[in-house]
Amino acid sequence: MQANVRRRIAVITIMALVIAAVVYGFMPRPVPVDVAKAVRDPFRVTIEEEGKTRVEDRFVLSAPVSGYMRRVELDVGDRVKERQAVVVLEPMRSDVLDPRRRAEAEAAVSAAKAVLSSAEENALAAAADADYARLRLERNRKLFEQGYIARDIFDQAESEAKRTGANRLSAEAAVKTARSDLERAKAVLRYSAATGTGGNIETVTVRTPVSGRILKKHHESEGVVNAGEPLIDIGDPSLLEVETEVLSADAVNIGPGTKVIFERWGGGDPLNGTVKIVEPAAFTKISSLGVEEQRVLVISDITSPPESWQRLGDRYRVEASFIIWEGKDVLQIPASALFRKGEEWAAFVMKNGKARLRELEVGHRNGLTAEILAGISEGETVIIHPDDSISDGVRVKVR
């Protein structure tokens, strides 16, 4: 009798365990989720872009004329004073004569010498004719005054003297012209680049318009420069501003006086700044993905004490965060907890081990967090990154 009882108890116990195991197997298990708390903290809406510093007043010294620039002895970073000479330009160097051109130049000199000799001989002949005509005119004048020759003969002698005198002057001018042609032909040989220029040459000195430091040398070694070509950049690195290229859709939310935080510039603490000007014209730029973007240049001043950013220089990289809106005590949750439910925002709240759907009124968002105006209280736990397995009333557990 006792054996039968024990057998029945064992069978009932086994059946109960089997039934419990089957029921437990079909029961829904809690879904593991990631959670975060709704907290009250300072909240900012920012526009973040990469910018670079630049000297406020940058002076680019350019070549006033084409010439041969002497080597610049100053180095980048050297201080210069107002009206200090920094660049010296010489005249352009002559060409080097190849054998054919040298032979032509020598032949031109020989031809010029021959022309000069011919002109000098013609000048001697003209001088002789002029002297003879002058003597003849003196004789005829005495005879005419004494009444031995007619007036017409005297007039002819006077005209002949004037004509030969004019020929003499013309011949002397031809000699000067031929001598100048000879000097021009000799100059081709004398001032060849292979033989040097010799003598003193005129130079043009480029001076600094203001005091400052050399920021960049476009040319360091001597060489030929063209008129208008930049030579040296000068400015004061202690007077810096930041230029940032911002999308035109974001630039409409930025104006003069907007606060800026400069981060990841190489120093320890972020730097403060304010927007000075938003340029009125946008420009097209191709992004790294090959997409055309309309961007606007925003210029900002650094308002932090100069001693905190004195290590910054011209064209240094910074990360600029433009503060569009901020609050000191704002209820917020991670933006990854939000999703759309029709036209409204919603989120799941974890309460008593279950997910509860809440419709929310959302204010500002900054990409990472969102301001909650209604629907969630401070300290409540929200589920972030909810997937399709989460619905209202589903059992959940923290991952």
Q: How many C-alpha atoms does 334 have within 13 Å on its Cβ side?
A: 14
Residues with Cβ within 8 Å of 223's Cβ and at least 6 positions away in sequence, in order, are 68, 69
SS3 91: coil
Q: Phi, psi (5° rounding) for residue 299?
A: -105, 130
Q: How many C-alpha atoms does 18 have within 13 Å on its Cβ side?
A: 6
pLDDT tens by residue, 297-352: 999 999 999 999 988 989 999 999 999 999 999 999 999 999 998 889 999 999 88
Mean pLDDT by 10 residues, the chain (399 residues): 69 74 64 90 92 93 92 91 92 78 83 89 88 87 82 84 88 89 83 61 90 91 92 92 95 94 90 95 90 94 92 92 92 92 90 90 90 91 89 85
Distances (CA, A) of 267 to 90, 243, 307, 327: 46, 19, 12, 27
Q: What is the pLDDT of residue 25?
A: 59
Distances (CA, A) of 292 to 254, 279, 280, 399: 22, 19, 19, 43
pLDDT tens by residue, 83-97: 999 999 988 877 777
Q: What is the pLDDT of residue 63?
A: 94
* CA 27/CA 256 separation, integer angstroms: 62
SS3 162: helix
Q: Are 239 and 309 in contact (CB under 8 A)?
A: no
Element (H, E) at 357: strand 354-365
Q: Are 6 and 348 in contact (CB under 8 A)?
A: no
Q: What is the pLDDT of residue 193?
A: 63
The vertex-267 CA angle with 216 and 319, nearest 5°, equals 75
Q: Are 234 and 80 in contact (CB under 8 A)?
A: yes
Q: Are 194 and 31 in contact (CB under 8 A)?
A: no
Q: Which tokens go with 152?
A: 């017409």
* CA 116/CA 187 separation, integer angstroms: 16
* CA 171/CA 121 separation, integer angstroms: 9
Q: Are 287 and 293 in contact (CB under 8 A)?
A: yes
Residue indicated by tokens 């003297």? 161
Element (H, E) at 307: none
Closest CA to 132 of 168, 99, 106: 168
Q: What is the pLDDT of residue 184?
A: 86
**One-character DSSP codes across 197-220:** --S----EEEE-SS-EEEEEES--
Distances (CA, A) of 212 to 191, 193, 323: 40, 38, 34
